[in-house]
């Protein structure tokens, strides 16, 4: 389970330490990695110690494509909080670029999910975290109890649903509660075919019921 946020940032040379200062205390921040990321226009990964949330700061590349992508960002709101997001067309270009370099089929899944019928990309991760940071993240997570990790998973689920609902209502502010529920269901299932999505969900529920019966009922 990974709890992380991708943020593209434009950081001036020499400003890495000032950026790290903003997160000092609440986050584990590798200042050496941050300085290197600013110079090389790469990635560094602060980790929120209490919430165990990793933030992937992706320093914007100095290319015409990335400069244009950055200026085309749009403002979005989720439950009253505003922030900037990449437009779908630029997200697709980025995913295709990663798929070409990494040969990742999941990037293509994300591209299909980011199309006009689906809107929200999947959650597959790219290799953008240094090994030592990934190991630190793993140790922090495993240090928590099973109950705490379950609560983290529930929090991730609630956040994902809030993001999807906000996206649906942005496209159709007058959507009824039923229409929002249907759109959220289709978005999560990554399909526009309601009937096939329902069939998959029912099949998954049947498998889950069978597994529970096998554990708790079978002698």
Q: 131: which residues sit within 8 A by CB, 6+ positions away?
A: none
Could you tell me if 79 and 166 are in contact, meaning their C-beta atoms sit under 8 angstroms apart? yes
- Residue pLDDT, tens place only, 160-197: 888 888 888 888 889 898 888 888 888 777 777 888 88
Q: What is the pTM of this model?
A: 0.60
State the Rg of the chain over Cα. 20
DSSP string, 101-119: HH--HHHHHHHHHTSTTT-
Query: Euclidean distance between the first and final Cα of the chain, in Å?
Result: 33
Average pLDDT, the chain: 79
- Residue pLDDT, tens place only, 73-120: 888 888 788 888 888 888 888 777 766 665 555 555 555 555 554 333
């Amino acid at each position: 389970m990974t709890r992380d946020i991708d943020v593209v940032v434009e950081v001036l040379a020499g400003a890495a330490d000032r950026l790290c200062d903003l997160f000092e205390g609440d986050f584990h921040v590798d200042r050496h990695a941050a300085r290197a990321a600013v110079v090389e226009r790469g990635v560094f990964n602060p980790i929120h110690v209490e919430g165990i949330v990793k933030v992937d700061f992706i320093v914007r590349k100095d290319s015409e494509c990335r400069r244009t992508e950055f200026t085309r960002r749009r403002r979005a709101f989720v439950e009253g909080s505003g922030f900037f997001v990449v437009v779908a067309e630029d997200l697709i270009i980025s995913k295709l670029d990663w798929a070409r370099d990494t040969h990742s089929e999941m990037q293509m899944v994300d591209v299909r999910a980011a199309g006009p019928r689906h809107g929200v990309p999947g959650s597959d991760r790219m290799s953008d975290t240094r090994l030592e940071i990934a190991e630190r993240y793993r140790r922090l997570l495993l240090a928590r109890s099973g109950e705490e990790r379950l609560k983290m998973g529930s929090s991730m689920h609630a956040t994902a649903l809030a993001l999807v609902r906000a996206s649906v209502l942005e496209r159709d502010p007058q959507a009824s509660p039923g229409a929002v529920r249907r759109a959220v269901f289709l978005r999560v299932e990554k399909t526009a075919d309601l009937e096939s999505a329902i069939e998959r969900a029912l099949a998954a529920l049947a498998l889950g019921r069978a597994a529970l019966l096998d554990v708790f009922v079978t002698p």
